[in-house]
Structure 1
Amino acid sequence: MLQRLHNLEKLNVRRCSSVKEIFQLEGLDEENQAQRLGRLREIWLRDLPALTHLWKENSKSGLDLQSLESLEVWNCDSLISLVPCSVSFQNLDTLDVWSCSSLRSLISPSVAKSLVKLRKLKIGGSHMMEEVVANEGGEAVDEIAFYKLQHMVLLCLPNLTSFNSGGYIFSFPSLEHMVVEECPKMKIFSPSLMTTPKLERVEVADDEWHWHNDLNTTIHNLFKKTHGMY
């Protein structure tokens, strides 16, 4: 089937209760596989309760998603991995993940490093998520810059403890709007060095904003306030 979709620009899959995998790569031609979906710009996945992977990490061939601009995944409660570590999203503008309760992290450090054009990041309703960028000590990625990211929303993530718990240095030179709501276990944004030169406040509820010196201090003070520590 994939061999016939090389001109596909939009993919919308919804309300399919038996779908476990979007792209089955096993058995496809390894040499040409990377060009199969080179024109795909938008992926929308909705209400797929059995979905566990978009495609599997151990597939010998990967997908070329260099043209992908929008990835939205909603109500996929069995999803355990958004994308493999090998994928690159150099043109992705919007990443929106909602109510995927089996995800413990969103992306790997290597995938995060490829998001040089990402402008909008929205994550919500994923009850098992502990961090956004996975802490994978084996990956040699020291600095991760989200150059274009302007809007970040973290909403209803009851087990989220941080954006990342590892030693990666994060840079958000364009971040201006940030929402952190109903994330009661989030003690700090990131334990290592981080820059957010344009961010001046964090939305914590409708018409309620907080800011205390920097993002890490703001998140930590919000945690203490939530738990009655001051």
Structure 2
Amino acid sequence: MPKLVHLGEDNSQSAPRPNFPNLEILLLSACASLQNLTSSAISFQNLTTLDVHFCKGLKYLLTYSVAKGLVQLTKLEIKDCRRLVSIVGSTEEEDSGNSDEIIFRRLKHLKLSILPRLQGFCSGNCIAKFPSLETSSMSNRLKLKIFTAHDQTLQLTNEEEDTDVDLWEWMLPIDK
């Protein structure tokens, strides 16, 4: 769906009733115009798997409030989103300048690849923690951007071999 911009229409006149209240798996692929996953029209509270591939319009994937609501998330995979700056970003209303913490309590699998503009997992002063993470797959360069050397928030118990999937991305053109 290359022209998809938003996942649901928000109705400002009344409180929206969420669609797909039992949504567990969300795969977004080749949604070139998608801006982010923020929508009061879709419930993410039961989401266990989130796969996002080839969504070149994304600058950030989730807002803080949506990310905090992902209490069941066990797998997160993001691939080839060339404009993605951070996975968790803030809206102007949420950006109060205060430090914020998001704990992905059930996240076990994290895979990040071909994200040339990624500056960090969260924007601003947000700290992300992954107490249940079992496997991760990302380049050393991305690990250093997301999890600094003295960052204790990433605790891996069974890390996969580092694939350096982003090592060659400097050769790929970035869509402007």
With the length of structure 1 as denominator, give the TM-score of the two structures: 0.59
Give 1:203 deviation, angstroms: 4.2
Structure 1 CA distance, aligned partners of 2:56 and 2:153? 30
Indicate yes or no: 2:110 matched with 1:157.
Answer: no
Aligned to 2:25: 70
Structure 2 residue 6 is matched with structure 1 residue 53:
yes
2:45 to 76, 90, 102: 90
Q: CA deviation at 1:53?
A: 1.0
Which structure carries more relative contact order (alpha carbon 8 Å, separation 6+)? Answer: 2
Cα deviation for residue 87 of structure 1 reads 5.5
Q: Please identify, of 190-199 and 98-107, the stretch whose mean Cα deviation from structure 2 is larger.
A: 190-199
Rate the CA distance shift 1:59–1:97 in 2: closer, same or farther, 3 A. farther
Distance 1:139 1:85 in 2: 23
The amino acid of 1:95's aligned partner reads L
Unaligned runs of 5+ in 2: 171-176
Q: State the 4+ residue runs in structure 1 displaced beyond 6 angstroms.
A: none
| Mapped contact 1:88–1:111 kept (Cα < 8 A) | no
Task: Output the amino acid matched with 2:50.
Answer: L
- RMSD value over aligned CA atoms? 3.3
Are 1:174 and 1:196, in contact at CA under 8 Å, matched by a contact in 2?
Answer: no
- The match for 1:4 is none
Structure 1: which 5+ residue stretches go unaligned? 1-47, 209-221
CA distance in 1, matches of 2:143, 2:83: 13
- Assess, with a 3 A threshold, how the Cα gap between structure 1 residues 186 and 150 changes in structure 2: closer, same or farther: closer
Aligned residue pairs total: 162
Q: Which moved further from structure 2: 124-133 or 184-193?
A: 184-193
Q: Does 1:188 align with 2:141?
A: no
For 1:143 and 1:124, how far apart are their aligned partners in 2? Answer: 24
Structural mapping, 1:1-230, within 5 Å: 48-57=1-10, 59-60=12-13, 61-84=16-39, 88-136=43-91, 137-138=95-96, 142-181=100-139, 187-189=144-146, 195-199=153-157, 201=159, 203-205=161-163
Cα separation, partners in 2 of 1:86 and 1:194, compared to 1, 3 Å: farther
One-letter code aligned to 1:55: G
Matched with 2:173 is none
